[in-house]
Structure 1
Amino acid sequence: MESLKLKSKLLYLLLLVGFGLSVVGLIGYFNIKNIKRHMDTLYYGSLVPLSELASINDAYENDLTITVYRWNNHLISDDDAAQKISNGLEKIQQGWSNYLSYPKRPEEMPYVDYTESQMDLIGGYFTQIRSIMLDPKHSHPISLSTLNENLHSIHETIRQLITYENASARYEHLELMARYENALMQLILFLGVILVLVMGLAWKIFARIEWQQHQLISTTETLKHLNLKLEQASYTDSLTSLYNRRYFNVVYEREFKRALRASKPFVFMMLDIDFFKQYNDTYGHLQGDQALQAVAKTLKATFQRPGDYPFRLGGEEFGIILTDINCKNAHIMGERLRSNIEKLKIEHKGSKILPTLSVSIGGICIVPTALMGDDALIHAADTNLYAAKERGRNQVVFGNKL
């Protein structure tokens, strides 16, 4: 019965939270849509058209008026002047078309219509000037005072429209801020009410189940300990107690990405016991396992820093990932490992280079880039390992290029 009551209370709590979040979500959704609409009106209806009007003003000044002045002073040919007038009028027409494509309010249309009529008049004036320029019998009968009056008139007309657009933008901004503050207050109010209700009900419910948590703590700790052991077992090679190939894949990907982000060297070495098949044939697999364990022990003793990761990749093949180390020191560590294994003096009658066990090492040290493949460094280290074997084994071949 107690369990059923607890489930009922939890269900009521979830329903209350769900209802409250739904209400808050709906309020937020409608308010955000409303705010977006005002932002679109502010941006597309007021701010963006200002740039079009400014470009039209600039075209009257620079593309038309200056061209007429230069032509009147014989600084430009008739054909070039007429072409510039045509280009200027086309640019103004295009700018005005762009301006008209943005949303307009009904109360704005009288300003727009008046401005358009004035532009038509001024456009006709400059069209006449262009006709004069193309007339071979012309004698430059252009009145600069009339030109300045027309230019002043259209500038004043466009300035009034810009003033109106600025005023509209300020009004829309005030409306937007008012709606934003109203939406924010509504959300805070509803969230506050829901929070008080949820906290009150949750206090009673969780007070009832607190004692159950204490009973679960010891069980949880035991499970964590067992899971940790299981995880360690899944990442550890049973023969050598080194990290296995599965954990190598995890560490390789993680450290490669970390070196890529930090632009630091990534070091990977591959190690192979020389003539290990002949060792097994000569001394048997049991003693071969003991040799693998001795090499693994030397690996652990040589690489003891927190950022050193020795692995058994399979058979007699081992791998080492080194972090937070430069290429020179990494090469030195590889030579030290080779020397330490040689110093073990493990008898190996089947070796063709030494009477004792030895290893060949191929390494790569490079700062990763985004263009490198995931297994590019593995192939590079494997290539250097092959080179070490080709050169006579019991040596380290280290590179810093793919």
Structure 2
Amino acid sequence: MPPSMDGALKGKMERNGGYFGRPANSRCCSPSARLFFWAATLIALLFIFFMGMTSPSEPRRRVLGSYSWGGPDWEKQVRHSCKLKRENGIVVLVTGAAGFVGSHVSLALKKRGDGVLGIDNFNNYYDPSLKRSRQRVLENHGIFIVEGDINDRYLLKKLFDVVPFSHVMHLAAQAGVRYAMENPISYVHSNIAGLVNLFEICKSANPQPAIVWASSSSVYGLNKENPFSEHDRTDQPASLYAASKKAGEAIAHTYNHIYGLSITGLRFFTVYGPWGRPDMAYFFFTKDILQGKTIPIFQGPNQVDVARDFTYIDDIVKGCVGALDTAEKSTGSGEKKKGPAQLRIYNLGNTSPVSVPELVRILEELLKVKAKKNVLRMPSNGDVPFTHANVTLASMELGYKPTTDLATGLKKFVKWYLSYYGVPGRIPRA
């Protein structure tokens, strides 16, 4: 993430001790003199801060850390990427477009003739080279990805000034249950602050876009009902990641209620497939099995096998596109709600949970390598032992129907993995 203006200013002040030290020629200062000095210093710092900020309507180029945007050529790329190639198409801003789900959704929309613009900050939660490879695939299909952060309100405001987006597909987020124990602030920054910033820009846009965003099956937390239904309790999150997504659902309700934003939340269940995330079990199991490393197989209470409702990426994409196509228009204007607006939440899963040992067995068969396993008790890191999606609502209202079983999906993933990474131990393509 790019450093904030506050952080940059703080660093500058720390490097220049004179900002907060005594004046060089001052051996003693009266209270009034010291007060004047501090007041003058504060005014100077505020002046520097505000002069350093760029109004979205002034310079045509803005630089934030390693990010740069603006100017005629940049705007031309943005508009060209959003050009419609089908009648009654939609124009979609896809956040997290270089991510796993984001890249697949962007490609599906572009292939059917919709206008698509991506935004991604290419952070290093996992190897950014994989995101860059996805970016090149999208660029080859005419999709431009703006490099920037969803917390940058100036950038988002500029994008909406250049293009009147009809829809936003919000997939940018800090993912991962276990990583929340290492870097909790990143979840607040991306999943809460970033979501609020996006809603703030959308509420002020004219016209307001309809928004579809990624929640998570993790919101079900310690829920004991089976399968998980949208009507079940979601007030007992088991991880900070889950809590941040539950907070997002509450925030979505607020912006829908006050400002008339049309908002649809999608609770994804363990998405997998080609171009997936390296932090997911099926991905690093494949890598470790090929390299002869031991893989951890966690068990829940009473030595019960952990199971997941693994959902193939193509099925998730169909659900995302279905949500976009059935999203109603937002009802606000000038930041004022003019009538009730659509607010929805759906499960997107496969409906057929598979145990982790069965996942490993399928991978062993596909890779033709026997896995070295270490069976362990599930640690208290926020993971839950079982997920199972009830998708009745999505089926009725989105036409959602998962069709890919785990064996078929993993076969496609392994084929991609071997094509992308090559022989075990080989460094992936840059």
TM above 0.5, one fold? no
Which has the greater radius of gyration? 1
Report the TM-score, using the length of structure 1 for normalisation.
0.20
Q: Which protein is richer in helix relative to its size?
A: 1
Structure number with higher strand proportion: 2
